[in-house]
Amino acid sequence: MLAGRQRAIARAITLAESNTAQSRELIRAVYPHTGRAHVVGITGVPGSGKSTLTRVLAQEAQRAGSGDGLKIGILAVDPSSPFTGGALLGDRIRMNELSSNPRIFIRSMATRGSLGGLAHAALDAVDVLDAAGCDLIIIETVGVGQDEVDIARAAHTVVVVSAPGLGDDIQAIKSGILEIADIHAVSKCDKPESARTIADLKNMLMGDPSFSHEEGAWHAPVVGTSAETGAGVSELLQKIFAHRAHLAHHADGAARARARAETRVLKIAEDAVRATFARQSKGDFSGLIDALVKRDMNPHDAADVLLAGMSHRE
Amino acid sequence: MLAGRQRAIARAITLAESNTAQSRELIRAVYPHTGRAHVVGITGVPGSGKSTLTRVLAQEAQRAGSGDGLKIGILAVDPSSPFTGGALLGDRIRMNELSSNPRIFIRSMATRGSLGGLAHAALDAVDVLDAAGCDLIIIETVGVGQDEVDIARAAHTVVVVSAPGLGDDIQAIKSGILEIADIHAVSKCDKPESARTIADLKNMLMGDPSFSHEEGAWHAPVVGTSAETGAGVSELLQKIFAHRAHLAHHADGAARARARAETRVLKIAEDAVRATFARQSKGDFSGLIDALVKRDMNPHDAADVLLAGMSHRE
């Protein structure tokens, strides 16, 4: 895997997804080899065109650099359904175009069930891709849901994709993720409505009370892109590299590195709580649940009992 | 609050949202008075029309029952933004029509920041409304994101709202929540495309491999509704009451009660992990984060250290 063999990478990610004692051993072994890749989170609401943009950006990035170009990892975090057994988005099919390029590794990761674990598994997979020598890792997530947004935030550079002309409900949800953008990409800029979306975003950013006037502060640029015409894709990649350079020479970089490490640990700890709970609620914890249902016990005291038993993981 | 005074209820929910030692005391005191209300989760993707349906359903339900009718609690869990300082959905404004009715209590709850806590706070608020004498409590959440879906699942009856003619990206996300429906509502059934949506849903349900042929098993009905014409709203309410009766006379009811209790405890425990982590990452845990950034430590071992210290909550 460390030599960058695609099948070994795929197997390592599958192991990471299993969240077992073995997968933890894998990450313990892999982690010292990480820290070299630049991780880009691409997020946006459903319909924003982020999958298509991910595809064209990956192709552009692969051609960057000297010689054979850069080595790219793509992690697409998909909504999935037990009715269909997997991802539904048509964009996934177009993603397959990329997989013929030996210097682009693509992996889809389905949204998990109620036991969660998506963020933890995705961030473990990023470690695997990093250790396997990827120069640039793109994590594409839908920008709704705590776990999905946390995954995007755990990148070095967060690109939030906005599409022109989406409905109000969609915009309302989108507004919750605009704040995490290091770079704003407006998709479908071949459409005339996109000029309005770009102007709206710029206005919003100028009115942001957290706008920093400090010298050298990063101000999220707004880039119009079109997967159709290829416009703006190269500019977007340049902005990503500019942000990487900013992080290397500014205190933001160290802060981001700490925040990423914190998210990793927190997501692992949350998963451990859920796993312990799932095991215990069928076992030792069963009587406590009965008492809760009968109102003989209250949920806060029950949570204290659960947490007191958390010092051992299986 | 137990006497049902609106201002006292509002204050109790604000306290519950604070997630402090005091709020935990409140829930400890309130919890023995809960278990009487029927809790309905209404969920759907952005644009599905769930807010509007919640409004008309609440009005219909309020008029049900004898005398002054039923007492209704509505908890609307909103996407929010630091740019706007609150909920953006236009539906919230229309919700205000309801608040003139003294037997309908409405509360909006914003999606929290990265420390989470939304599910925990929402479920605490349901306890408050239950103890305050609400007959029916409607929790409206957007059906994307683990926390949001978990909130809906913690209801007795889950209504998943589908709108005719949404895009593929949206449908892909929707498919992840269709499985949790006890009742399917198709909104905007005044539109001709709705017949197709209803037919598609019925087909999907018939093809579901988990369809139970057991006698007395609940089969999620599909109800066409229109907030515009009022069509189907009364039928939807009847289906909710039918599901309540089903839970009272079938093993599903006990299973649902246990699942609800489990979700409560799990969400509280997860919040406690996040709170401890947020506190510790600035304090005792700071050196550990440094070691992670330097790759001298790996995230799984760091999580073990965090969890080992979890037996005490502040």
Does B147 touch chain A if contact means CB atoms closer than 8 Å?
yes
Residues of A within 8 A of B31 (CB-CB) are 295, 298-299
Alpha-carbon distance A83 to nearest alpha carbon in chain B (angstroms): 7
CA distance B213 to chain A (A): 18
Q: Indicate yes or no: CB of B302 within 8 angstroms of CB of A265.
A: yes
> Mind listing the pLDDT tens digit for each residue in A22-77?
988 999 999 999 999 999 999 887 778 888 899 899 999 999 988 889 999 999 88
Q: How confident is the model over B224-252, as a mean pLDDT? A: 95
Cβ-defined contact of B169 to A46 (cutoff 8 Å): yes
Contacts of B147 in chain A (CB under 8 A): 145-146
pLDDT bin (cut points 50, 70, 90) of residue B313 is low
Nearest to B144 among A145, A179, A264 (CB): A145
A88 touching B (Cβ < 8 Å): yes
CB proximity list for B120: less than 8 A, separation 6 or greater: B19, B267, B268, B270, B271
Q: Where in chain A is the domain with CATH 3.40.50.300?
A: 6-249
What is the arithmetic mean of pLDDT over A1-7?
A: 90
Instruction: Check CB contact under 8 Å for A299 and B27.
Output: yes
Q: Which CATH architecture has domain A6-249?
A: 3-Layer(aba) Sandwich (3.40)
Lowest model confidence (mean pLDDT) among A233-237, A248-252, B238-242: A248-252
- B89, B145, B171 member nearest A146 (Cβ): B145
Residues of B in contact with A35 (CB under 8 A): 295
The predicted-structure confidence for B141-199, as pLDDT tens digits, reads as follows 877 666 777 888 889 999 999 888 765 545 545 556 788 899 999 999 999 989 988 98
Between chain A and chain B, how many beta carbons pairs sit less than 8 Å apart? 239
> Whole-angstrom Cα distance, residue A161 to residue A184?
6
Region A265-270 average pLDDT: 88
Of A27, A82, A269, the CB nearest to B307: A269
Task: Please tell me which of the candidates A87, A118, A298 has its beta carbon nearest to residue B28.
Answer: A298
Q: Which residue has the higher pLDDT, A135 or B101?
A: A135
**Position A313 pLDDT exceeds 60:** no
Residue A80: per-residue pLDDT: 39
Q: Does A270 touch chain B (CB under 8 A)?
A: yes
Residue of chain A nearest B311, judged by CA positions: A308
- The answer, for A152 touching chain B at a CB cutoff of 8 Å, is no
Nearest residue in chain B measured CA to CA from A292: B261
Nearest-Cα distance to chain B for A91, in Å, is 9
pLDDT value at position B90?
A: 46
Question: Which one of A127, A169, A174, A295 makes the best mutation probe of the B interface by having the most chain B beta carbons within 10 Å?
Answer: A169
All residues of chain A having their beta carbon less than 8 Å from the beta carbon of residue B208 are: 83
Q: Residue A158 pLDDT more than 60?
A: yes
User: Is the Cβ pair A31, B142 closer than 8 Å?
Assistant: no
Q: What is the pLDDT of residues B17-71, one digit of tens each?
A: 887 889 889 999 999 999 999 999 998 877 788 888 998 999 999 999 888 899 9
- Residue B26 in contact with partner chain A when CB distance is under 8 A: no
Q: Tell me the mean pLDDT in the region A257-280.
A: 86
Q: Does the structure show a pLDDT above 70 at A110? A: no
Q: Which residues in B lie closer than 8 A to residue A111 (C-beta atoms)?
A: 176
Q: Which pLDDT score, from 0 to 100, does residue A115 have?
A: 46
CB A31 within 8 A of CB B295: yes
**A174 closest CA partner among B176, B79, B119:** B79
- C-beta atoms of B273 and A273 within 8 A: yes
Please give the C-alpha separations between residue A276 and each of A14, A111, A285, B168, B235, in angstroms, as whole numbers: 22, 20, 10, 37, 42
Instruction: Kindly state whether B85 is in contact with chain A, defined as any CB-CB distance less than 8 angstroms.
Output: no
Q: Which two tokens stand for residue B91?
A: 């539906």
Cross-chain Cβ contact B89/A301 below 8 Å? no
Inter-chain contact B204–A83, Cβ cutoff 8 Å?
yes
The answer to whether the CB atoms of B146 and A303 lie below 8 A apart is no
Nearest to B31 among A172, A299, A308 (CB): A299
Predicted confidence band of residue A116 (pLDDT cuts 50, 70, 90): low
- Where do the H-state alpha helices sit in chain B? 6-18, 21-30, 50-63, 91-95, 118-131, 146-153, 168-178, 194-206, 233-248, 251-282, 286-293, 299-308
Tell which wins on pLDDT, A123 or B212.
Answer: A123
Contact assignment for B292 to A265 by CB distance below 8 Å = yes
A216 near B CB under 8 A: no
Query: Which pLDDT value is given to residue A215?
Result: 82
Across the interface, whether the CB atoms of B46 and A167 are under 8 A apart is answered yes
> Which residues on B lie below 8 Å from A176 (Cβ)?
79-81, 111
Considering only CB atoms, B303 lies closest to which of A89, A149, A269, namely: A269
Span of A76-90, A194-208, B91-105 with lowest mean pLDDT:
A76-90
Summarize pLDDT for B84-94 with one digit per residue, the tens. Answer: 233 344 445 55
CA gap A181, A41 in Å, rounded = 9
Assess whether pLDDT exceeds 70 at residue A8. yes
C-alpha to C-alpha distance for B104 and A195, rounded to whole angstroms: 44
Mean pLDDT, rounded, of chain A: 83
